[in-house]
Amino acid sequence: MAEAPAGVGVFRHVGFFYRTDEQYAATVAGFLRDGLAEGEPVFAAVPPARLTLLRDALGADGRRAEFADMTEMGRNPAWIIPRVAAFTRRHAGRHVRYVGEPAWPARSAAELREATRHEALVNLAFADADADILCPYDTMNLDQAVVSDARRTHPLLLSGGRQGASSAYAVPFQIPPSCSLPLLAPPRDVMTYTYRTDLSRIRALVLQHAKEAGLTDARASDLVLAVSEVAANTLRHTNSHGTLTIWHDQAEIVCEVHDEGTITDPLAGRRRPAPDTPGGHGLWLVHQVCDLVELRSDSSGTTVRMHMAIDPASPGG
């Protein structure tokens, strides 16, 4: 019998800890199959090897499920909530099931921190949703710090066939401290520019460095747009200057903007603002075009670090 959580309750967010492919296939496919048996829409976004396991385990039932490659759909973890929200809206009025595996061993440390942040924000973004969400974690290959954080971001845990409340999930909607650690210092050979009014100079600098790093014209334009949007927020919301820092290596180009403003909405940029909403469109755009966005905001100011892979098809991208 599959060790899958029963589909009861309005919203359930379950962390599933697995050790073997067999355990993974039985549990996750069982969770999806139980939903299909109840006539529920089901959606699974997992890495490619796991997709193969699920399709093989589900057989003909898999034709009634929706699948996505998480390494594409969730390359930037901030892309996941909007995609899942669109799935729930398409099936409004019905209970849905979603499997999401946002953390896998090949991810960078920065990506894993943002995947952890995503998992914490799922509890806020879908608090009123009629949904069961199951999130698998490979305890054999993921760093134990990632697994420990999963205990903090999931109200319910499933491991070894047993399901129960997570004792580490102490405060609803709390983001684990690991997500708020200071960003790693940039390398020494960086370009720094202080601005107060001249966004045209910022656009020119970003474009120049993007081309030197090897970005395509389209991706260079996306990065210019993203940095310009963040810098424009300095002009709109602060009375002081901002600082732009740029560096790159063979894998990616990174642009960082720091100013004295603060961002208080933990979901800023992770849910599409309504067309008539006066604010929030800039950060939404930034998250959509960048491969990774790291944001730190407190009383000392806000830092937005935007990553763009030189080759988005490479393993790191």
pLDDT-derived band at 281 (thresholds 50, 70, 90) equals confident
Mean pLDDT score of the chain: 93
Q: What is the pLDDT of residue 9?
A: 44
Question: Angle of helix 109-125 relative to helix 144-153, nearest 10 degrees?
Answer: 10
Q: What is the pLDDT of residue 110?
A: 96
Domains in the chain with CATH codes: 11-178 (3.40.50.300), 191-309 (3.30.565.10)
Q: What is the pLDDT of residue 4?
A: 44
Q: What is the pLDDT of residue 278?
A: 67
Query: Cα-flanking dihedrals φ and ψ of residue 67, to 5°?
Result: -130, 155
Q: What is the pLDDT of residues 145-204, one digit of tens each?
A: 999 999 999 999 999 889 999 999 978 888 999 999 999 999 998 999 999 988 999 999
Mean pLDDT of all residues in 17-33: 97
CA distance 238 to 261: 6
Q: What is the pLDDT of residue 222?
A: 97
Q: Which among 76, 16, 4, 148 is positioned nearest to 316, based on CA atoms?
A: 76
Percent of the chain surpassing pLDDT 90? 85
Q: What is the pLDDT of residue 314?
A: 59
Q: What is the pLDDT of residue 132?
A: 97
Q: What is the pLDDT of residues 97-136, one digit of tens each?
A: 999 999 999 999 999 999 999 999 999 999 999 999 999 9
Return the bridge partners of 148, or none. Answer: none
* pTM reported for the whole predicted model: 0.92
pLDDT-derived band at 279 (thresholds 50, 70, 90) equals low
Q: What is the pLDDT of residues 263-274, one digit of tens each?
A: 999 999 998 887
Q: What is the pLDDT of residue 277?
A: 73
Residue 3 has pLDDT above 60, yes or no: no
Q: What is the pLDDT of residue 310?
A: 95
Cβ-contact 74, 45 below 8 angstroms: yes
